[in-house]
Structure 1
């Protein structure tokens, strides 16, 4: 009888190391990622092991032994208990296990193709109105003028909130988003976050009460109506899911639209392709999210020693699944640094995650981005960057903080 050799700990396996600052942007760090990928599928980074290869990243994302550390953004601010901790860690974004599977099973019934397709008219109206404000000037600050205001009216329409309330939604979102920001003192801002969150909950409770009397054509009504073997969502779950949609669907779309616009500006021949062949819009979304994603990584941890591939991840290890590097793995993507919206049947991107935590709103996000890029390519001729385009750091939500452009 033979006994399998114990796989070495990732910390003892002589893996390549990454030495970057937590404030560095994806573009600054990428040469290190690419060099490390040539040596091993994992490297040791500033916060722990980083999965760099496409195949291993996909495997880890699908493996239920690798879990989302509860309240990781709050822990970074020293918050490990209290009312904000309880609210965040009980959202579907932080759940694991049977309760998570139950909620996903119910909620997925509301994210049908029909539900996302009915948003097209709203998406088109919102994008065109934003472009109307800048079209005559021949220039704009794309992040402030278009990307930043874009998602909130879509989320309002998705939930069934009236259009005139979108600015109130935007104010709530700005305060609530402090929970995922590294740019503020969250301990001091906690009362502000809790106040905004409570007001948002009250608003949703009122909407739910009215929808229970008369369902309408919106996601909140779908969530109220869905049922599986007698199981339905209660008021607290509906409130929590509305919050999750606001958090997961706002900054992600803003940042990715700006990142997609930047890379298209930097490749005018690809912009011309999109303009002349609008049917390429969905491919443009996939390629921009592969080449220039705003969400570059996701964190996992293990509750016990886990062996996978040639390595052992010790219990309590924080693991960064570096989807930015994985989406540029030359073992999977031909000439991975090349930006090409006509790539023929490329492997699926990992930007939306995988396994039980695959983004529920991925199809809606793709649709929002594709419709926006399609309209922008028709209405903003020959866009070009003017000046520099600073990006947020790799960790957390990245993407351009400003994107001044000229067009015409």
Structure 2
């Protein structure tokens, strides 16, 4: 670039182009991402610029000029008002600035590794119970038999809800999560989404009222106790956070458990290594989420003209931080396509985002996955994939639609 000249817009920078269809899976698209990544740190994708470089993604996730679009996919679908819009834009995921900082400050202590460790026994018990149901058969579908029923009883325990209510929570999560899909016309499901969300809110309000009179050892009580300079969470904020936890921690965990099991089944040496050394579980979580994440990117909107590394992103531009590509950036990870649960010295994965919107439940998610892996690798011997494993599209929450496996059972 000539000294004194303005940087060219990212749209005029002769960047590589990436084309893919909305229904294509991460594995189908990844070779195109790698080819583009070898040419430039940014490419022009079907929805706008896609950032592929690890260092650039990490930097931009921490840059306040790149913010989460209000309403997320609702905005993309042309929905900018109404009850559903109000619910989504006032969630922790969409808040920005002082309001977001306040809620993060009040809630962060409830999600520390130490706080989530108290659920260790619950996680192991739930997974053991699920394995008990399929152990004698010697085969199962990991998605329907293991991954899908796993997280909701844990979230019930986390909030202090009775375990027998987990099916109600699961139904609410299934309905409300449709509001965050890029592959569903939200207008078609809005009435069902709002009905489920109101039922969940009513349930949480009743729990909050009971807890205020009798605090216990659960997350909801921790949030009620939370204080920062005399500031406390009000009932509406407690409702939003509890509901948000259910939504954020259900389908993500379900899909990542299945994806992680698939990766380890495809690398039996790694399954056996984890079986022999269960202390590697957290490393296995990091490595499989790096290699096969079910969240492949995060969308940001440029709030003002922003120059990054000589590229100008005009205000109003939607930018996809492609964490699937960044997590396998060969400039950062040695032999990035290799799965190695003993990998050392690697930088932190970007699957949980970065900056002020770094996933609040990351510690909980890691712990859930690690405990699941420890139970599965101890009890299932020599698991092998026993049929097709179709995946959901990259542009939505991805992961296996089904994962049939056969195995021997440990004696």
Residue 353 to residue 344, structure 1, CA distance change in 2 (3 Å): same
Q: What's the counterpart of residue 73 of structure 2?
A: 73
Query: Distance between the aligned counterparts of 1:314 and 1:343, measured in 2?
Result: 39
Residues 322-341 of structure 1: pairs in structure 2 closer than 5 A: 322-341=322-341
Structure 2, unmatched stretches of 5+, are none
Aligned partner of residue 74 in structure 1, secondary structure: helix
2:389 aligned with 1:389, yes or no? yes
Q: What's the counterpart of residue 29 of structure 1?
A: 29
Aligned partner of residue 301 in structure 2, secondary structure: strand
TM norm structure 2: 0.97
Query: Distance between the aligned counterparts of 1:345 and 1:216, measured in 2?
Result: 40
Residues 295-334 of structure 1: pairs in structure 2 closer than 5 A: 295-334=295-334
Aligned partner of residue 312 in structure 2, secondary structure: strand
Structure 1 residues 180-189 or 91-100, which shifts more? 180-189
Q: What's the counterpart of residue 240 of structure 1?
A: 240
Q: What's the counterpart of residue 107 of structure 1?
A: 107
Q: What's the counterpart of residue 267 of structure 2?
A: 267
Per-residue deviation at 1:74? 1.6
Residues 4-403 of structure 1: pairs in structure 2 closer than 5 A: 4-403=4-403
Matched-pair contact (CA < 8 Å) for 1:297–1:396: no
Query: Distance between the aligned counterparts of 2:30 and 2:173, measured in 1?
Result: 31
Per-residue deviation at 1:183? 4.3
Matched-pair contact (CA < 8 Å) for 2:150–2:254: yes
Query: Distance between the aligned counterparts of 1:386 and 1:377, measured in 2?
Result: 17
Query: Distance between the aligned counterparts of 1:386 and 1:74, measured in 2?
Result: 38
Query: Distance between the aligned counterparts of 1:10 and 1:220, measured in 2?
Result: 45
The alignment covers a number of residue pairs equal to 407
Query: Distance between the aligned counterparts of 2:252 and 2:143, measured in 1?
Result: 13
Residues 38-59 of structure 1 show CA distances to partners (whole Å, capped at 9, x for unaligned) of: 1110000000000000000000
Per-residue deviation at 1:310? 1.3
Aligned partner of residue 140 in structure 2, secondary structure: strand
Query: Distance between the aligned counterparts of 1:223 and 1:33, measured in 2?
Result: 41
Which contiguous aligned blocks of 4+ residues in structure 1 show a shift greater than 3 angstroms?
Answer: 182-185
Aligned partner of residue 396 in structure 1, secondary structure: coil
Residues 162-189 of structure 1 show CA distances to partners (whole Å, capped at 9, x for unaligned) of: 1111111111111111111244332121
Aligned partner of residue 203 in structure 2, secondary structure: helix
Per-residue deviation at 1:275? 0.6
Structure 1, unmatched stretches of 5+, are none
Per-residue deviation at 1:23? 1.2
Query: Distance between the aligned counterparts of 2:117 and 2:288, measured in 1?
Result: 22
Query: Distance between the aligned counterparts of 1:282 and 1:4, measured in 2?
Result: 49
Aligned partner of residue 168 in structure 2, secondary structure: helix
Per-residue deviation at 1:3? 6.3
Aligned partner of residue 95 in structure 2, secondary structure: coil
Structure 1 residues 396-405 or 184-193, which shifts more? 184-193
Query: Distance between the aligned counterparts of 2:21 and 2:87, measured in 1?
Result: 31
Matched-pair contact (CA < 8 Å) for 2:182–2:395: no
Query: Distance between the aligned counterparts of 1:332 and 1:190, measured in 2?
Result: 42
